Amino acid sequence: MRSENETVGQQRSFIEEARRRQIIAAAVDLISEIGYGNASLAKIAEHAGISKGVISYHFDGKDDLMTQLVIQLYVSGAEFMTPVIAAAEGPRNRLRAYIASNLDFIDANKRYVAAMTDVVLNLRDAEGQLKFTYAEGAEEILRPLVDLLREGQRESVFGAFDPMLMAKSIRDAIDGTAGRAIQESDFDVRKYAAHLCRLFDLATITQGE
């Protein structure tokens, strides 16, 4: 049985996590409306209906809040995509699920994606360098996709190609779609997802198919 202290601790952690997500959501809304440069902690707090001190309790300043905003989107994306990919049978269907679920998530979270993009293009470290660069974390992001492509090659489902180069091509296509989704109001993400699935079906096909 759980002790009373354990139960209280879990409740506190749940409440604190909910508050952190509330603050991040408020930051997303405000950045979407007035841009990263104008979204001060005071304005974010006002938008969330809380005091600035509450934000300071949960985050170590604006830079930390913005960093967690970016991380949270990737975490939420992984939570959305993982069960969809796992439910697909075989490497080819899992690749389609990877592309389609990624773009479904982007389509459902355009406002968040736009805010995150604004943060990534502007947040800088103490030396004035961009905190998030394309190379940073790229290998970790690409690893599951590279593993999926290699699995398909081992099973002769996919043809002969460089898995890392193919994974980069797929990610570039997905990231490019995200840019179009937030810039073009009439862009049909689902239709484009189907197009990309067909495109990479052909790109990964085995000889003789």
Which tens digits make up the pLDDT trace of 12-42? 688 888 899 999 999 999 999 999 999 999 9
Q: What band does 8 get if pLDDT is binned at 50, 70 and 90?
A: very low
pTM of the model: 0.85
Tokens read off for 182: 């937030």
Percent of the residues in the chain that have a pLDDT greater than 70, as a whole number: 91
Q: How far apart are CA 23 and CA 92, in angstroms?
A: 39
Q: Which residues, listed in sequence order, are joined to residue 130 by a DSSP beta bridge?
A: 124
Determine the number of helices (DSSP H) and then strands (DSSP E) in the chain. Answer: 9, 0
Which tens digits make up the pLDDT trace of 121-176? 999 988 889 888 766 667 888 999 999 999 999 999 999 999 999 999 999 999 99
Asked if 94 and 88 count as a contact pair (C-beta separation under 8 A), the reply is: yes
